[in-house]
Structure 1
Amino acid sequence: MKIRPGEVADSAAIAALLTELGYPVSAAFIAASLQRQLAHPDAALLVAAQGEAVLGFISLHFIPQLGLPGDFCRISYFCVDPGTRGQGVGTALEAATCALAEARGCDRIEVHCHSRRELAHRFYFRHGYTESPKYLQKPVQPSPG
């Protein structure tokens, strides 16, 4: 298994993994999203690959902090193929994330993980993540115009 930067050619595999995660999307939608993300200087996408097969991926964003010395890394999407869970794929992707976050000057990694994803919570706790009790969100509505 190799951890490498994601590329647009991974769109179909990533779309399938996101669908498995509960986000049904097309490969065309992911290709367009990947082009934007790969061009963004404060974003990264890593994939775990075995030959041509994508076993999992992790999408990252690096966010500067105004009032504290270190930046932080946010995991926005993280999925491992169900057939390869428990084989170290997620651990390898998380370790690569830690190395990349450290290289980017981050002092922490954050992830929002829905309460229904209990297996994912266990994974994060095993890897040293702690719970932060509040997460607030507000949808942005387009202005009428």
Structure 2
Amino acid sequence: MGLRKMKVEDWQAISMLLNQLEYPNTETFIKEKIELLINHPDEELLVYEDKRKLIGFISLHFTPQLALNGDFARISYFAVDRTIRSRGIGREIEEYCTELAKKRNCDRIEVHCHSRRIDAHRFYSRQGYTEIPKYFIKKLH
């Protein structure tokens, strides 16, 4: 039981968890995305297993900063199976990633969390995150 590096073979379980986050139909491309990111030097893909069942994952990206001494880490995707949330698994994953970020000279972690995810907002607040109200996005297609 615990954290390990993601493998390409995990793609179906990752797709199921992304579906719980309202990212449907990832099964058509998720395997290729994992293959692309799994060895990227600025990406950390981790899964959480319990009794050989994948029950959570996180995608963490590290971004060097030009104008700041410390770099930052960004949680791109983070999910724990909805049937077992609030048992400390998310906290364990996030705290492990915080230590990874510190080792990579990051002085902060950011996460974009949609306004509809109220429970996730409470989780991030408990973990010490603060809300920064401006976030801009430009859709390219």
Aligned to 2:132: 132
The aligned residue for residue 37 of structure 1 is: 37
Q: Is the 8 A contact 1:12 1:26 kept in 2?
A: no
Name the counterpart of 1:98: 98
Aligned-residue offset at 1:51: 2.8
* Deviation (angstroms), 1:64: 0.6
2:57 maps to what in 1?
57
TM-score by length of 1: 0.93
Residue 27 of structure 1 and its aligned partner are, at CA, apart by 3.3
What whole-Å deviation, never above 9, does each CA across 1:96-123 have from its counterpart, x for those lacking one? Answer: 1101101111000000001010000000
1:11–1:28 contact (8 Å) kept in structure 2: no
Give CA deviations for 1:42-75 in whole Å, capped at 9, x if unaligned: 1111111113211101101100111000110000
Indicate conservation of the 8 Å contact 2:18/2:26, yes or no. Answer: no
* Offset of residue 87 of structure 1: 1.0
State the superposition RMSD in angstroms: 1.1
Whether 2:123 is the aligned partner of 1:110: answer no
Aligned length: 141
- Counterpart AA for 1:106: C
Percent of aligned positions that are identical: 52
Letter in 2 for 1:48: Y
Per-residue CA deviation, residues 4-54 of structure 1 (Å, 9 max, x unaligned), is 111111100000000111001343511100001112111111111113211
SS of aligned partner of 2:101: helix
Structure-2-length-normalised TM-score:
0.96
- Can you give the 5+ residue segments of structure 2 that lack an aligned partner in the other structure? none
